[in-house]
Amino acid sequence: MNTMATSSPILTTREIETLSSKAQAAKEVAYCPYSKFRVGACLLTQSGEYITGANIENASYPVGTCAERTAFGTAIVAGQREFKAIAVATDISPPASPCGMCRQFMSEFTSPSFPVYMYDKSMKCTVVTIGELLPGCFGPGDLDK
């Protein structure tokens, strides 16, 4: 894992700041009456759009979904297919890492070098890639083998 606060070889400082602030703001709309575990996400598309998501729980617990998947789902139905980075913000420290289902979901639309900026309760950032989160994953190319 690499810990980075303000810069990245891939994103500009302004992009990172926007991602972090929008992910933080998205926590405010999380629907999590059961766990009280707020998660906000913000996805940056290759075309420069920022698309947010938050976790959405359900009285039937397994039906709930995560912030990362709501952000990607919103982007996909808006016609987006190429992405630069995602930021995920929680209220804990160290920051929460995406769950296994989200890792697989995000890998469908990203490359192994896709960065995931994880923010803790103090907005301290840890950056990991999809390849680090889900090495050797099953992907679209495996269906053709």
| Residues forming a β-bridge with 109 | none
Q: Write down the least CB distance from residue 101 to Zn ion, Å.
A: 5
Concerning whether 49 is annotated as a catalytic residue, the answer is: no
Going by C-beta distance under 8 Å and a sequence separation of 6 or more, which residues neighbour residue 110? 83, 130
Beta strands in 73-135 (DSSP E): 83-90, 115-119, 125-129
> Under rule CB under 5 A, how many of the chain's residues touch Zn ion?
3
Question: Quick one: 5 or 138, whose CB is closer to Zn ion?
Answer: 138
Question: Quick one: 5 or 92, whose CB is closer to Zn ion?
Answer: 92
Question: Quick one: 13 or 58, whose CB is closer to Zn ion?
Answer: 58
Give CA–CA dist 117/114, Å, rounded: 10
Beta strands in 21-134 (DSSP E): 39-45, 50-54, 83-90, 115-119, 125-129
Handedness of CA 113, 4, 94, 71 (dihedral sign): negative
Question: Quick one: 19 or 102, whose CB is closer to Zn ion?
Answer: 102
Q: Write down the least CB distance from residue 98 to Zn ion, Å.
A: 5
Q: Does residue 66 interact with Zn ion by CB under 5 A?
A: yes
Give CA–CA dist 49/144, Å, rounded: 32
Site string for Zn ion, 97-126 (x = CB under 5 A): --x--x------------------------
* Strand bridging mode 83-90 / 39-45: antiparallel
Q: Write down the least CB distance from residue 16 to Zn ion, Å.
A: 22
Query: Contact region for Zn ion (CB under 5 A) — 81-89, 96-104, 114-122, 133-141?
Result: 96-104
Point out the catalytic residue in the list 17, 28, 68, 82: 68
Active site residues per annotation: 68
